[in-house]
A = this chain, B = another copy of it.
Amino acid sequence: MEGNDLRKAGLKVTLPRVKILDILEKSGTRHLSAEDIYRRLVDLKEDIGLATVYRVLTQFEAAGLITRHHFADGMAVFELNAGPHHDHILCLDCGRVEEFVDSGIEERQTAVAERHGFAISDHALVIYGHCRKAQCPHRSAPTHE
């Protein structure tokens, strides 16, 4: 029961928050936009407004439950913080997003930050490409759904 995660994060356990967290946890795709989540709520016949979705997502982000990403189209997508840090590789044809970690890249980023006199706080690395896979239909629709 995810009420505990919410309590641990210092958030009151309300119906919208539980439902939204549930969607994030159960979603096949790990990266959802506010609209994506709102549409799923509508499908579930939940009476939750889009404004609340944005508010809740912002709170989740502040609480460290989720991370907000801006991929190339500029629209925000949100991802549950499960497991440790990772970066993203995204298919420009089918919108598939895969995750990876490369310790060498991580180390070198720290080195770059030091070299420039920065205390590193975070980073965002997205590789854009074309996945040559059977499932990828070379669609034009770029990002999600």
Chain A residues within 8 Å of B, Cβ to Cβ = 70-72, 74-76, 89, 91-92, 98, 100, 102, 104-105, 108-109, 111-113, 115-133
16 A-B Cβ contacts within 8 A? A89-B118, A91-B118, A102-B111, A102-B112, A104-B104, A104-B105, A108-B108, A113-B127, A117-B132, A118-B130, A121-B128, A123-B126, A123-B128, A124-B124, A124-B126, A125-B126
A133 touches B112 (CB 8 A): no
Q: Top 3 A-B pairs ranked by shortest CB distance?
A: A118-B129, A123-B127, A120-B129
Our pick among B72, B74, B102, B112 for the contact of A127 (Cβ within 8 Å) is B112
Q: With CB as the reference atom, state the residue of chain B lying closest to A100.
A: B112
